[in-house]
Structure formats: structure tokens, C-alpha cells
Amino acid sequence: MAITLKQIIELAKQLPEDCYAEIFEKMNEAKEKAEANAEKESKTEKCPHCASKVIVRNGKKHKKQAYLCRNCGKSFVQTTCSAIENSHSSETVWRAVISDTVDGVSLEKTAESLNISPETAFNMRHKILFCVEQAILSEPVELEGVCEADETYVLESVKGEKIPENYHRKPRKHGSKANKAGLSDEYICVQTSVTGKGDCIAVAVNRATPSKTEITEVFGDLITDDTVILCDGNTKYDVLNEKCTVAHTERINKVNNFHSCIKERLRTYRGVSTVYLNRYNALFAKIFDSNSSPVDEIYKLMTLRGDSFFSIQNVKEENLLNI
């Protein structure tokens, strides 16, 4: 059975004080063993700046082993040039936050269980979401073969902010229904598609029902020559007939299951702020019906070297959904 950091912290809280010294010694031994193993693995380490293997150990940075490249003279750690460059948190903490993000655990519970501040938990979660979204934007899913397409609707949310006096609707509590009856501008439209391989697309670009232009904006550039799109009775999807074959049917079970997944996840989170909705949509598309471990895949994305570093300021300002 895999033991998580949160379980270790919870167990440590229950131990009597006279056990602290013994446990601390055992944990130090485990830490030294892990560092020794990491040192063996570091023999294959390359400089992220020039790819040279002529490197030497160079002290510690943020409690992580640092290296110095003899070729270009630059110092680096294992997370240099990755999404979590300069992070003070360990791999174990990052994996725990990724796991909580995937499972829909609240930020308050994540912060409490990992003994970090709510602000740090928020920043880490949104770095994770931003990284997943960036990965999908850089390599978008292609709609090839037989695909299903449809839209679903979620209530607009300004969670975490105060609604201004001149806003188009009155405030409501979490879990409340829309103030207006039927489909209105209080709902955000999430356009979705699921391919035959199980790859997913989920993008929000509008309120209420999508127009032909918005359908083309989301799906148009992703269509290949042999694409067949199955959708329900919404004839607006016929605009895609210029690029592929569109067929109308009541049996679009895959995309309907994806809709259920999205809404269930949003209920678990108790709603998410609309400005961040597409980041969560990217996560839902990533983990829906996944056969592999999403935590491992996402952590690999976070530590992938290249020009993938971004700051908290980037996360707070870029790719926000404003509709």
C-alpha cells in the first residue's frame, strides 16, 4: 500500500513527545538514504542550459542538490527550466497537491494536511492547472476518426470575489440555482468533444448557447480530412460540414459521460471561479477515462525541462476566461 505524506504527518501528530527524537533520527536516516540514491542517479544529469554532462555538485539550493556545469559555468538544480523552478517545496509535497487537485480536495484541507498556508496551496494548485492547460494548448487534441461533440452548461461563478453593485445578477449561495429561469446568461457554455481514442476537448468561450462562429472557433482547426462528428439535434454543428462529415444522433454516450464527469468534479470543488474555468476544463480533459496515473503524468509535465517556467504572476494574469 502506498503511504502518502499526509498520512505520515497525521500519524506524527498523534505520537507522544518522548518518541520525537527516535522518529526524527529514523526520518533523517531515510532522508540521507534518499539523497544517496539521488546522487547515484545524478551521474546521468545534464546541464539544462548547454546539455553538457561535465557537471559537479555545488552545494544546496532551497534544500535541493545544486550542480555546476564545467562547460558553461552555470549552476542549476533538477527543477531548473521547469514549471516548478525556484519552488521551495519537495517532490513529495508537489505530488500530494497534484493528487488533491485531481481528487477535488479543498484548498483548506490541502493546506492543513500538508502544513502549508492556504495562499501557497492556491498558488501551487493553479500552477498545476496552468501547466496542464499550457501542455494542451501547445499540443491540442486532433479530432480524427469518429468523434462525439456537444455542449454542457455550468453556472457562472465569481467565487472568492465580491459581486459589484452594477453586476448583471444578484449574489447567490454555493449550490443555489440561477436567478433566471431556463438557459440564460448566468450559464457558461462548455463545448466538448471526445474522440474514438478517448482524447477529450473542453473549452468555454461563451454564455448560453454557442453560435456557429464559436463552434468553428473551438473545433474548426482541430478537424482532419477523415473526421466524422456525431452530435445531437443542434443543427449549428452543421457549420463543420465544410471541413468534415457531421451526423446527428441521440447516442453520444461518451461525450455525455464526460459532461457528467465535469459536473461531478465541479460539485466536489463546490464550484470554481469562471475566470479559471478553462484551466479546470483542461484538467478534466486530462484525467477523464485515463488509464495511467494522472499524478505521475502531471508531475512529469511540471518537471519537464525547456522554456516552461512561469511565475505566479503569469498564472494570475494569463489565459483567464473573461466572458
d(CA 210, CA 204): 10
pLDDT at position 38 is: 57
Confirm if 219 and 149 have CB atoms less than 8 A apart: yes
DSSP string of 242-303, one letter each residue: GTSEEEE-S--HHHHHHHHHHHHHHHHTT---GGGHHHHHHHHHHHTT-SS-HHHHHHHHHT
| pLDDT surpassing 70 at residue 48 | yes
pLDDT tens-digit readout, 279-316 = 999 999 999 977 778 999 999 999 888 777 788 888 88
pLDDT tens per residue across span 86-141? 888 888 899 999 999 999 999 999 999 999 999 999 999 999 999 999 999 999 99
pTM for this prediction = 0.81
